[in-house]
């Protein structure tokens, strides 16, 4: 098997090395293409472009495989915790007992945000979107916790701990602001997920009772969203980080990229779809049939995935937790009945089966967050909390790579050829009508 690829341009041969990954992937390294042949590649949306060499996450979309640092997501979901998974992504190995203890203690000690930042929450409009608040507040953390130009290993660990821990504090504070309740401070007595839920739902007049099933479902949600290779937000983190921007600005950029409905907002779209079906009194079967019609405006959200061509391994895991929550006594909502009916019908429909359009992680995660009591505009915030360790792992891997340099994509210019400036009285108006 050849270890290089031959490209013939204008009758001249050019050889480019083939890079092989540990899981059998092969890529043509065209780094020297412009220098050799005076050409660049064009790959809109970068769907066929490998932007980096990475040891963090591996995805096989055809086989439905997701590995964090080589560990199957199924094993981590069953046996690990979010904090342990965060350590794994950032440091490359599962922590020993003493390492996990140090890491957990650092997270706990870093959970408070500067008291003066409370004034920022007061200044936001009453109905400000929590993702807007989160992106702004994370960026502003750099003014309260200045990042040195050169970080030693201990400082790097501290700033990463700050972000993993403080992002959930900012998220909970932003939610409390939106409903007009006083903020609830983090507690050293509670673990990561329990702490977040307590800050979200506890109040001076009502303690929050921790439900093990809810805690487990949220923990699973965070683990399964912790990283997902070079997606839009991870690529944004690497792009912004390549300028040597401070670590808070880098993560804020990732949050902003995640905000879009085509990325982190997809689970919210699932709930909006279910609400539309409920509000219009549509029959789930009829809705599915209309969704199969390309001319129809109806879209079945939460099915299929750009990367996974068979099934989404994260969805298989969340499905069990989702069904467990929806079947708990006292958990009742007509949206859940519609969702389960759509799931049942779609899994039996030849149209979806033939096209491998199975429920994805967004379908079940939206239902889980709804069952937990998380408001819609906080769905993507939960996604961001889970994704911070992955973003930090991507950033850390990049800045410690020997070949690290600023990202600067090329383009193919299709605008006007060179032309000359004309005085305003000689210009022809293009106004229509």
pLDDT tens, 277-317?
999 888 899 999 898 888 888 888 888 888 888 788 999 99
| 23 assigned to some structural domain | yes
243-262 average pLDDT score = 95
Q: What is the pLDDT of residue 234?
A: 97
Class of residue 210 by CB neighbours under 10 A (exposed 0-12, middle 13-18, buried 19+): middle
C-alpha 76/C-alpha 66 separation (Å) is 11
- Are the C-beta atoms of residues 248 and 163 closer than 8 Å to each other? yes
| 20 assigned to some structural domain | yes
| 416 assigned to some structural domain | no
Task: Tell me: pLDDT of 32 over 70.
Answer: yes
Token pair belonging to 207: 């303690």
| 33 assigned to some structural domain | yes
- Are the C-beta atoms of residues 106 and 112 closer than 8 Å to each other? no
- Are the C-beta atoms of residues 29 and 18 closer than 8 Å to each other? yes
Which pLDDT tens digit goes with each residue over 132-187?
Answer: 999 999 999 999 999 998 899 999 999 999 999 999 999 999 999 888 899 999 99
365-380 average pLDDT score = 91
- Structural domain boundaries enclosing 46: 4-65
Mean pLDDT of the chain: 92
Long-range pairs of 278-282 with CB within 8 A, sequence gap ≥ 24: 278/334, 278/335, 278/338
C-alpha 200/C-alpha 214 separation (Å) is 13
| 433 assigned to some structural domain | no
Which pLDDT tens digit goes with each residue over 37-65?
Answer: 999 999 998 988 999 999 999 999 989 99
| 257 assigned to some structural domain | no
| 168 assigned to some structural domain | no
Q: How far is CA 8 from CA 3, 26, 42, 394, in A?
A: 17, 20, 17, 35
Q: How many domains does the chain have?
A: 1
**Best mean pLDDT range from 111-125, 336-350, 389-403:** 389-403
Q: What is the pLDDT of residue 282?
A: 85
Q: Is 382 helix (H, G, I), strand (E, B) or coil?
A: helix
| 57 assigned to some structural domain | yes
- Are the C-beta atoms of residues 389 and 90 closer than 8 Å to each other? yes
Active centre residues (catalytic): 305, 362
Total-model pTM: 0.92
Task: Tell me: pLDDT of 395 over 70.
Answer: yes
Task: Tell me: pLDDT of 332 over 80.
Answer: no
Q: At what angle do helices 247-258 and 130-144 cross, to 10 degrees?
A: 170
C-alpha 66/C-alpha 60 separation (Å) is 7
Which pLDDT tens digit goes with each residue over 103-132?
Answer: 999 999 999 999 999 888 888 888 888 999
Q: At what angle do helices 97-109 and 153-179 cross, to 10 degrees?
A: 50
Q: What is the pLDDT of residue 432?
A: 57
């Amino acid at each position: 098997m050849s270890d290089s690829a031959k490209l013939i341009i204008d009758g001249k041969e050019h050889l480019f090395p083939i890079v092989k990954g540990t899981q059998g992937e092969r890529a043509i390294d065209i780094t020297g293409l412009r220098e050799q042949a005076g050409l660049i590649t064009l790959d809109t949306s970068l769907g066929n472009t490998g932007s980096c060499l990475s040891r963090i996450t591996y995805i096989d979309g055809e086989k439905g495989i997701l590995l964090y640092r080589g560990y199957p997501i199924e094993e981590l979901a069953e046996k690990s915790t979010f904090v342990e998974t965060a350590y794994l992504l950032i440091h490359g190995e599962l922590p020993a007992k003493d390492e996990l203890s140090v890491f957990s203690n650092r997270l706990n000690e870093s959970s408070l945000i500067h008291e003066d930042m409370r004034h920022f929450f007061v200044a936001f409009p009453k109905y400000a979107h929590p993702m807007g608040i989160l992106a702004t507040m994370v960026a502003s953390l750099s003014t309260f916790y200045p990042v040195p130009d050169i970080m030693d290993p201990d400082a790097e660990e501290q700033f990463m701990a700050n972000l993993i821990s403080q992002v959930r504090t900012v998220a909970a504070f932003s939610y409390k602001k939106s409903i007009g309740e006083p903020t609830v401070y983090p507690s050293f007595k509670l673990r990561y997920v329990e702490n977040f839920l307590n800050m979200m739902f506890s109040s001076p007049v009502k303690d929050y009772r921790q439900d093990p099933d809810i805690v487990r479902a949220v923990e699973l949600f965070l683990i399964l969203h912790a990283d997902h290779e070079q997606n839009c937000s991870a690529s944004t983190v690497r792009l912004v980080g390549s300028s040597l921007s401070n670590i808070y600005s880098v993560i804020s950029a990732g949050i902003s990229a995640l905000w879009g409905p085509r990325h982190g907002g997809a689970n919210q779209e699932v709930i909006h779809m279910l609400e539309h079906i409920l509000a219009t009194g549509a029959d789930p079967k009829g809705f599915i049939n209309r969704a199969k019609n390309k001319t129809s405006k109806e879209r079945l959200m939460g099915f299929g995935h750009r990367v996974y061509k068979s099934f989404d391994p994260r969805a298989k895991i969340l499905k069990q937790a989702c069904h467990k929550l929806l079947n708990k006594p006292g958990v009742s909502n007509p949206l859940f009945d519609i969702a389960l009916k759509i799931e049942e019908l779609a899994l039996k429909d030849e149209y979806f089966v033939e096209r491998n359009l199975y429920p994805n992680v967004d379908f079940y995660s939206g239902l889980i967050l709804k069952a937990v009591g998380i408001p819609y505009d906080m769905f993507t915030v939960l996604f961001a909390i889970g994704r911070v360790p992955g973003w930090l792992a991507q950033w850390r891997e990049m800045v410690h790579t020997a070949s690290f340099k600023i990202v600067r994509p090329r383009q193919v210019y299709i605008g006007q050829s060179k032309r000359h400036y004309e005085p305003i009285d000689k210009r022809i108006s293009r106004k229509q009508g």
